[in-house]
């Protein structure tokens, strides 16, 4: 420091400022969560490829098979659940909602990775030439069961955080209910053991999550949307 110069003084935070900072909940950066989700999907895809190659499945599913249709359509369906869960995780101030959202986005991204891994091993493209849901016996021109519209997903980004919580739960319950019919069809129509096992897992976990979300909708202090 030069002679005659005054030392710089940096004010220290007050006790109240320190307590306020310490009281704020830890919120992982959105980029970190996205990176974690993608890493889980990639890891599960690699695991699915290795598992199928090791098992040496006897018959490769046809492009129009229920196994291929399930993997494609459930991946597409899961994509929207991951998108909505990521929005809720990013915007909610309710720890229970954030925990639920993180569970959904990590679980369903992992399952997407598995199903894409199967398609890769089977030598099938991620999308087929048949309409969605054709493998279930009723192809659809409109939205898949339980899918939210673009406007509904957009509302999750625009509503106040507390109202976003309720809207997220309402949309995700409907989305899960649509996924149950697809999972049940996967159990009944799938020929690959890995497909039936995943469908059974989805059926069980999403029923449980529906009950949990219905419970979270009960508190009177969870405000309704407009």
- Where in the sequence is the domain holding 170, given as residue range(s)? 27-216
Q: What is the pLDDT of residue 219?
A: 65
pLDDT digits (tens, 9 = 90+) for 156-169: 999 998 899 999 99
The answer to which of 11-20, 117-126, 136-145 has the lowest mean pLDDT is: 11-20
CA–chain centroid gap for 129, Å, is 26
pLDDT digit string, tens, across residues 29-54? 455 455 555 555 455 555 555 455 43
Cα distances from 49 to residues 29, 155, 201, in angstroms, run 31, 37, 19
| pLDDT tens track for 44-84 | 555 555 455 434 455 799 999 999 999 999 999 999 999 99
Task: Evaluate whether residue 180 is within a structural domain.
Answer: yes
Say what the pTM is. Answer: 0.76
Is the pLDDT higher at 110 or at 34? 110
pLDDT at 15 over 80: no
What would the DSSP string read from start to end of 101-170? HHHHHHHHHHHHHHHHHHHHHHT--SS-SSPTTGGGT---SSPPTTPPPHHHHHHHHHS-HHHHHHHHHH
In the block, residue with structure tokens 């030598």:
123
**Mean model confidence pLDDT for the chain:** 81
State how far the Cα of 115 lies from the Cα of 150, in Å rounded to an integer.
Answer: 25
Asked if residue 19 belongs to a domain, the reply is no
- Residue 21: the pLDDT is 40
Element (H, E) at 182: helix 161-189
* Vertex 77 angle, CA 45 and 105, to 5°: 60
- Is residue 194 one of the residues assigned to a domain? yes
Where do we find the tokens 């996924």? Answer: 179
Q: Could you tell me the pLDDT band of residue 27, with boundaries at 50, 70 and 90?
A: low
Residue 17 binned pLDDT confidence (cut-offs 50, 70, 90) = very low
Q: Which residues neighbour 169 within 8 Å (Cβ) at sequence distance 6 or greater?
A: 97, 213, 216, 217
- Judge whether 13 lies within some domain: no
Overall domain count for the chain: 1
CATH of the domain at 179: 1.20.1260.10
Quick check: is 148 in a domain?
Answer: yes
For residue 224, tell me if it sits in a domain. no
pLDDT at residue 34, as a whole number: 53
Q: What is the mean pLDDT of residues 14-18?
A: 45
Alpha-carbon distances of 88 from 113, 133, 174, 194, 206, rounded to whole Å: 22, 28, 16, 31, 18
Q: What is the pLDDT of residues 167-186, one digit of tens each?
A: 999 999 999 999 999 999 99
**If pLDDT is split at 50, 70 and 90, which confidence band does 143 have?**
confident
> Is 169 inside any structural domain?
yes
Residue 223 within any structural domain of the chain: no
């Amino acid at each position: 420091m030069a002679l005659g110069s005054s030392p710089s003084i940096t004010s220290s935070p007050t006790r109240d400022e320190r307590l306020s900072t310490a009281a704020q909940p830890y919120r992982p950066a959105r980029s970190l969560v996205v990176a974690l989700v993608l890493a889980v999907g990639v890891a599960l895809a690699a695991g699915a490829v290795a598992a199928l190659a090791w098992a040496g499945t006897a018959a490769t599913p046809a492009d129009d098979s229920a196994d291929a249709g399930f993997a494609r359509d459930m991946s597409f369906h899961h994509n929207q659940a991951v998108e909505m869960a990521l929005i809720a995780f990013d915007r909610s101030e309710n720890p229970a909602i954030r925990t639920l959202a993180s569970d959904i986005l990590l679980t369903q991204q992992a399952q997407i990775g598995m199903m894409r891994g199967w398609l890769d091993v089977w030598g099938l493209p991620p999308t087929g030439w048949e309409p969605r849901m054709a493998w279930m016996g009723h192809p659809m021109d409109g939205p898949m069961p339980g899918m939210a519209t673009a406007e509904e997903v957009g509302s999750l980004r625009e509503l106040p955080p507390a109202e976003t919580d309720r809207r997220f739960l309402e949309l995700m319950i409907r989305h899960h209910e649509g996924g149950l019919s697809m999972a049940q069809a996967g159990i009944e129509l799938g020929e690959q053991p890995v497909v039936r096992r995943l469908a059974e897992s989805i059926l069980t976990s999403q029923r449980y999550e529906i009950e949990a979300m219905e419970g979270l909708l009960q508190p009177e202090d969870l405000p309704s949307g407009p």
